[in-house]
Chain A
Amino acid sequence: MYFFIYLAGFLLLRRIIKTVKLTPLHVKWGSILNIASGIIWVLFIALSKLPDGLDALVSAALLGGILYYFLQEPDFKLVRPYIIAHYPLVGITAISGLVELVSSKFYSENDDYFELAILVGFTWIFARWASSKKQEEEFKLVNQQNIVLDKLVAERTAELQKQRDELQETVKLLQTTQQQLIQSEKLASLGELTAGIAHEIQNPLNFVNNFSEVSMELIDEMGEELEKGDAEEAMAIANDIKQNLEKIRHHGKRADGIVKGMLQHSRASSDVQEPTNVNNLADEYLRLAYHGLRAKDKSFNAEMVTHFDDALPVVNIVPQDVGRVLLNMFNNAFYAVQQKQKSGLAGYKPTIEVSTQKVDKWLEIRVKDNGTGIPDEIKDKILQPFFTTKPTGEGTGLGLSLSYDIIVKAHNGQIDIDSKEGEYTVFIVKLPL
């Protein structure tokens, strides 16, 4: 009857051999397990000579030892539920052997039950094995599905990667286009400036011409004085000439500075922050904006009121960038009052107010105009790129959006807008000190 326990042990070993057959574990375990399965039958024959009862206990202990050994071995983790399924057989065999040893009479009277119990224990193993095999098949199926899924994921990943690369290319293209747009916006505002700059250069040039002309006359006069022998008067005239030459130099430099400023405005931003006097910057660009507009519309006039705080500290900014922001705001302000003036309001006096002041840790520049104002429904949109209220061709719609980038993103500042339609608009630029 204990044949079943050896059969179970043998089948267990065969089953494990089968499981490891196609895995790397085969090298380690294949031959050992084969030999062990042979030894089981040798032991069966050898131990069958043992007295009744004892042979059951020994065979139970043997199978129990095999089970214990496999449970300890991490290589067989996967077949663990199958190994555990042998417990009832081992237990029942051990109990029946014990009973036979203690009371062979009781055993022989009930041996049918014991044998039946052993058969049930043996059958239990195979019932468990069948169900675990089913699980294993399911597991295999899931594994296969996983492989399919992995492949699918890899395909999708490759697709996404490709799309990402394409998008990166597009972003690069957009960035280039944006740079070009910024450049064309700069050129557009430069175009508006040209007339203003021409006027600004005209003044120093007039001085250069006038002082050099007058100096030529003075030299003639000096010659006359020398002929007369009045060296003292000749010296006085020579001094005047010297002063005039200094003035010529001064105004030449002034014109030079204006041209340099113009070049600075048109070339790509250097992004170098330098300590800047904002009052001078605002004054310079206010004049340029005014003259630029005057050049286009000679009948236009506006009162410009400036309240520059003389005690304003210098601030570290990229002057040509902030200059562009100011220019843009002045242009907008002049445009707004010009539009309102065109509507023919009686007694309307176009006024642009520019003020600077230090408020806490901020340097504040306010540009206020009493022009058309900004309607509530477009207040949210005016900072968006390409948004413009001007007729096609007159505005790029990039002015305020670039201003926002310059002040908020590049200088960590703020732009606040306050406006009442038909009454006024105030732009407040705040720069951190």
Chain B
Amino acid sequence: MKILVVDDEADVQPLFLQRFRKEIRNNEIEFNFAQSGEAALTFLHDKQSEVVLILSDINMPGMSGLELLTHIREDFDTPPPPVVMMITAYGDEENHRQAMEKGADDFLTKPLDFNLLKEKLKTFTEQ
């Protein structure tokens, strides 16, 4: 399963790679990273069909996570549409409502609970 993680913090990359090292080693999950909404869209233009799940931060300089979500839903609607999970430090109702309205599949809050994330990934893969 190919997952695209979108976050402006560069250190998110080694963190995910280490947290999921067993899954990566067992070839269950493959991670790709983008440091901005714009970079994520470019990446998706090239490899849309491969990406199954997108994890995106909401608060990023430039294109916000919610805007990225809108673009993904508009530009990459060929079935099966990728699963999109939004992450933000602000676990507020407004962001949650907007994310859901714009077509997010799930919503996670920072600090990320990796065990919870793994559970969720498992349910999505089982589906």
Contact = CB atoms under 8 A, between A and B. Distances in A.
A236 to B, nearest CB: 11
Interface in A164-211: 199, 202-203, 205-207, 209-211
A299 interface: yes
Contacts of A243: 14
Nearest to A244: B18
B64 A209 contact: no
Nearest to B111: A206
A304 B8 CA distance: 15
A214 interface: yes
B64 A294 contact: no
A247 B11 contact: yes
B95 A210 contact: no
A308 to B, nearest CB: 11
A218 interface: yes
Interface residues of A, number: 24
A340 B71 CA distance: 26
Contacts of B106: none
A250 B10 CA distance: 12
B61 interface: yes
B112 A210 contact: yes
A301 interface: yes
A305 to B, nearest CB: 8
Given A247-B11, A299-B94, A214 B64 contact: no
A122 to B, nearest CB: 113
A206 B61 contact: no
Interface string A323-351: 00000000000000000000000000000
B19 A210 contact: yes
Interface string B57-92: 000010010000000000000000000000001101
B110 A206 contact: yes
Contacts of B116: none
B93 interface: yes
A388 interface: no
Majority SS at the chain B contact face:
loop
Contacts of B95: 298
A306 B61 CA distance: 9
B18 A203 contact: no
A206 B112 contact: yes
B18 A240 contact: yes
B9 interface: yes
> Which of B9, B11, B93, B112 has the most chain A CB atoms closer than 10 A to its own CB?
B11
A240 B61 CA distance: 30
Given A199-B89, A203-B9, A209 B19 contact: no
B94 A298 contact: yes
A210 B111 contact: yes
A298 B109 CA distance: 14
Contact of A203 (B14, B89, B90, B114): B89
B90 A298 contact: yes
B89 A214 contact: no
Contacts of B114: 210
Contacts of A368: none
Interface in A231-252: 240, 243-244, 247, 250-251
Interface of A: 199, 202-203, 205-207, 209-211, 214, 218, 240, 243-244, 247, 250-251, 294, 298-299, 301, 303-304, 306
Given A214-B18, A298-B90, 7 more contacts: A202-B110, A206-B110, A207-B11, A214-B19, A243-B14, A298-B94, A303-B64
